Amino acid sequence: MSTAAVAVQGLRKSYGKVEAVKGVDFEVAPGEVFGFLGPNGAGKTTTISMLCTLVNPTGGSALVAGHDVVTERDEVRRNIGLVFQDPTLDGYLSAEQNLMFHAELYGLPKSTVGPRIRQVMEMVALWDRKDAKVSTFSGGMKRRLEIARGLLHSPRVLFLDEPTVGLDPQTRAAIWGYINDLRRSEDITIFMTTHYMDEAEYCGRIAIIDHGEIVVIDSPEALKASVGEDRVQIQTGDDEAAIAALRDRFGLEAAVREGQVTFAVASGEQFVPRLFAELGMPIKAVSVSRPSLDDVFMSYTGSTIRDAESGSGNAWMRAMARR
Ligand SMILES: Nc1ncnc2c1ncn2[C@@H]1O[C@H](COP(=O)(O)OP(=O)(O)OP(=O)(O)O)[C@@H](O)[C@H]1O
């Protein structure tokens, strides 16, 4: 039997003709923070829903905490905590009452419930608001309370589906502070999905998922190192002419990404003086950046995550991708 916290083989899910997840394989080690990174519609929620036993797979297999998600659903559920995109807290109840309700659902021993509720609420800095109605909470406070609730029964694996979606940058950073603290204080594995690049940086390893398939799995550092080249973006008066000039004069393939002519070169800063001297047309602005997870995503899928979400990733860029 696998000792992995999560072990997935050939997992698939189709909704009619839509193949939401096309056969994914991966393992998550105990104690790891593992992230699924991909644009909206890539299949992240469907995968996490299968692992949490909320959706039945069409094919393949998955073990969570050593239990099969199809044949041992109750065991899986006892061993996992869930924080999903849509809040499921009861606004009419106080924060503490919401957690008590959850404790009852999970049949936690009465003697341990009080101290454990206090412990998890302190973890997310909400103990002083325990008697307040949840309807008076901000979005960030609700998400923190959901994380506390997800931890209440001491799960071995905590699943977070887009844990900071819709929150402002400061609140997102604070939530990540709590998640990192809890990883140190609780013996727990975290599986999360995100379409935020900066959020993926918090993960020990990430799987990039696109159109229902895992494109690559590695640590954020290794993925960035694998891209190697810098990203250069320029603004000129004529994007088409600039793309043609880059191809003709430098042999570079460029495309308009997020509104700017974008291409990759080995040493961007050294290339810029040549660009100004030899492009043969005025350049209004230029920026050079080291490979980010954005570039990793683009390199492996042929589209930036934002363009993929707006549906403007094109076939030409896909052809350029490494696959
Ligand atoms: N219940 C369903 N019935 C039909 N199609 C579905 C259903 N759930 C998901 N899909 C489709 O499966 C694909 C993957 O959706 P999924 O929600 O897993 O993506 P995602 O990466 O989690 O994106 P998001 O963050 O927007 O939820 C999409 O094409 C979606 O329209």
What three-state secondary structure class fits 238? coil
Together in a domain, 255 and 271? yes
- Please identify, among 201, 219, 237, the residue that sits at the C-terminal boundary of a domain: 219
In this structure, the residue with its CA closest to atom 1 of ligand 1 is 15
Cβ–Cβ under 8 Å, residues 15 and 57: no
CATH number of the domain where residue 264 is located: 3.30.70.250
Instruction: Classify residue 18 by burial, with Cβ atoms within 10 Å: 0-12, 13-18, 19+.
Output: exposed
Are 88 and 209 contained in the same domain? yes
Q: Do 313 and 240 reside in the same domain of the chain?
A: yes
Using the atom order of ligand 1, give the atom closest to the CA of residue 47.
Answer: 18
Q: Are residue 35 and residue 156 in the same domain, yes or no?
A: yes
Asked if residue 10 is part of any domain, the answer here is: yes
Q: Are 176 and 199 in contact (CB under 8 A)?
A: yes
- Is 199 found in the same domain as 228? no
**Pair 259, 275 in one domain:** yes
For residues 183 and 231, membership in a common domain is answered with no
CATH of the domain at 135: 3.40.50.300
From the number of C-beta atoms within 10 Å of its C-beta (0-12, 13-18, 19+), residue 115 rates as: exposed
Q: Which residues contact 96 (CB under 8 A, 6 or more apart)?
A: 117, 121, 130, 131
Report yes or no on 92 lying in a domain. Answer: yes
- pTM assigned to the model: 0.81
**Considering 175, 194, 219, which residue would you say is the last residue of a domain?**
219
Pocket test for ligand 1, best of 37, 46, 196 (most atoms within 8 A of CB): 46
Is 1 a domain residue? no
111 and 235 housed in the same domain = no
In a domain, 47, yes or no: yes
Residue 314's pLDDT is: 45
- When divided into structural domains, the chain yields a total of 2
Which of 140, 124, 100 shows the shortest CA–CA distance to 182?
Answer: 124
Q: Would 161 be classed as within a structural domain?
A: yes
pLDDT at 313: 45
Cα-based distances in Å from 18 to 54, 66, 288, 301, 303: 18, 29, 39, 20, 21
Residues 78 and 188 in one domain: yes
Verify that 286 and 209 share a domain, yes or no. no
141 shares a domain with 237: no
175 phi, psi to nearest 5 deg: -60, -40
Point out which residues pair with 7 in neighbouring strands. 27, 63
**How many Å apart are CA 217 and CA 193, to the nearest integer?**
14
91 inside domain: yes
Q: Quick one: which atom of ligand 1 is closest to the CA of 193?
A: 22
Nearest to 287 by CA among 230, 237, 226, 227: 230
Measured in Å, residue 45 CA sits from the centre of ligand 1 at 7
List, chain by chain if needed, residues with CB within 6 Å of any ligand 1 atom: 15, 18, 20, 38, 40-46
Query: What's the 20 CA to ligand 1 centre distance in angstroms?
Result: 6
Q: Which atom of ligand 1 is nearest to the CA of 42?
A: 21
Q: Which of 219, 243, 276 is the last residue of a domain?
A: 219
Q: Give dist(CA 275, CA 230) in Å, integer.
A: 14
Same domain, 214 and 66: yes
Query: Of 294, 297, 270, 275, whose CA–CA distance to 285 is shortest?
Result: 275
In a domain? residue 306: yes
CA of 34 from ligand 1 middle (Å) equals 20
Separation of CA 19 and ligand 1 centre (Å): 9
Residue 212 lies in a domain: yes
Token output for 106: 């999970």
**Domain that residue 252 falls in:** 224-320
Question: Residue 95: phi, psi to the nearest 5?
Answer: -60, -45
pLDDT averaged per 10 residues in sequence order, the chain, 323 residues: 86 95 96 91 92 95 96 94 85 94 89 92 91 93 91 91 82 83 84 87 92 94 84 92 93 88 88 90 91 84 75 45 40
* DSSP classification of residue 304: -
